[in-house]
Structure 1
């Protein structure tokens, strides 16, 4: 059974949890989506017993620091393992075409030359276009432009081996123009910056985010059976699951997940 490894659940400047990123585990391999904002990615991979030698596919959704900067550390670690003969095969990093130069530049400025040289040799930056499908692990993964109002950002959709459709909508509210990708999803991974009752406090709309209420209303209207909410504020992290679940159940009658960092969900 495929599993969703929740590496982080917080927004950009969260300090009580890691930035939102996750991995889909299929047998012994992982498809990693986003990397958070720093070397905290290495600790949570270690805590969750994810061997970097089993990561051969990474997707970076967009350029914001809380999604992209962890890639520097993964390239450093994996390139080191490659040099030592402790990593079989190549590492493929998928992103929209504008990010190829961004990731290359960041790594050129921060990664030692002997490791940076691995980019283009055994570490491949692979640009994907809106609507393009790539075969990753055992899945046909279709990437799509979420039509961000901030930085250009892609999400993806795929069908798991159990026949269930899973869609990652990025870290902004679903845009109806992406209906063809989200329609029929069994699993929807969606941001929810805060409770609707806390909207005046956290100002989600100014940040181009939604609330628990709106994310749940969306999933209800699209008849999505399983909804995962993350990319949240972290001011009351110990009560987040309880509070978000309680509000969400007022508007959504499917299976609602408000995971903590380090949780594993069976898909």
Structure 2
């Protein structure tokens, strides 16, 4: 079984800053990590390979530094990795990104299952996976928390607010997974050494059968007008009193003064 996992290198959210002039994220000098949901997808793919056999290929669209994320996935246990990188892809929204990734998967050919994280922690759109399925014309199931195979039949548990929905579909299929599906393994020393020696192939726009007008900023109908950091909430006042009755009276007086009651 051929499994492709799409991963994204994202800025560490604890370090994100916003350029007030361009209204874009400042990525220079900011630590990058593998999107946590995508790590769950990589782990799910490795577990499927261990149980049913096959091969796991991890792909990412991004700048050259995204090779670090791919090597981490190889260190976890992925078999192959591929970077989709070109200046023409710059500024892509979810539609252009999904179009480019779908073109790469078409070139890989004979892919039985595509796994993605539920969403990326920087954009939080959860759109790229479903849009890829539409470009590829294959079945999709989102928010998957369990995967079982029986030949060409895939039995899934889909996470919902008040329980799980059990769905059966057939290969080929695209799935997005939640964090509850597993606990990603840590890269091993042997795996890290293997990853460090690996040369990651890079595909540019020239290697893909694509329409240049659908790539990058040109192919992105979505544009960000403004981005900002919400102001910090003002810390509330702590009312101190000898008894609960006294504290309640003080609270009521303050609410009256503020014309809230």
TM over 0.5: no
TM-score computed with the length of structure 1 as normaliser: 0.28
